[in-house]
Structure 1
């Protein structure tokens, strides 16, 4: 009897490749580092790194430990994940003269989340005390003129311009002379500040 080869079923992913891919997907979905999964699975982090990269063969005794470390069943690690609907269907959030439409899901994306933002023409005066928090922000103005107060600087950002800055610098943004549409990327701390004050 002839042994089955992977090329007999060219569309079928080999089990070890599927497990490696699922391992990366599940770890990323849960926002876990290699170190965290390795500690939970009680294996060396360099071993886990080589397993994910395909530089080390997957042993069957690794599967239950890795599944447990990720909080899934062994079947979840061995089978292909169902294709998810890629559309983001989060509701817009309104706060302090801004409406923000989430463009990313609230899962891990390196901790970053993208929003389409509509800044009301009424949001023109910064508070007496400007916000400061850990991280970086990125803003691209689609339409209108954005007022960005950044430390001692008071800047007007025109449509088609982008800014990025450390959020350890006191900052605030609003409208110059009419509504502003922008795309923004915030870290978790910036998201809390801009959505909840």
Structure 2
């Protein structure tokens, strides 16, 4: 997440995200231990994320989205204020996993009732982002590379994409995105829930 404000104060988006994660766990009546078993994330890490003591990584959020049956954009839109039909570029939610060299911009106006969304992704040169499962099984994705180059692995199938290339995939298992160019890779991801 983008960190703003006083040192030591939680990022406002992290704080809202942590509160929403705690709500989702409470809605299911799960203890931290039960959620840890279902997600493969330690109780300590889950507790710290819920209290906004840490900014969750993309991999951690992906696992939690899988457990809760929602896409990352859905989860992030749930921590936003009132949904609007138009979101200006300056107001689009930007989330960053600095450790992985990944920046994710939710381009589409958030709306929990819609199945499709657009996301802009940027991976630093050499960045390698792996997900062990999709946030929602059977998720349809269309990845269009705008700049740079990406190696994308979907299950056992490996694909090399250069600027202008587009890959359509239905995601059931692990995926991996590696930025292979000398500069960052920038792409648009169209996501359609089943």
Q: TM-score, normalised by structure 2?
A: 0.46
Higher strand share: 2
Greater C-alpha Rg = 1
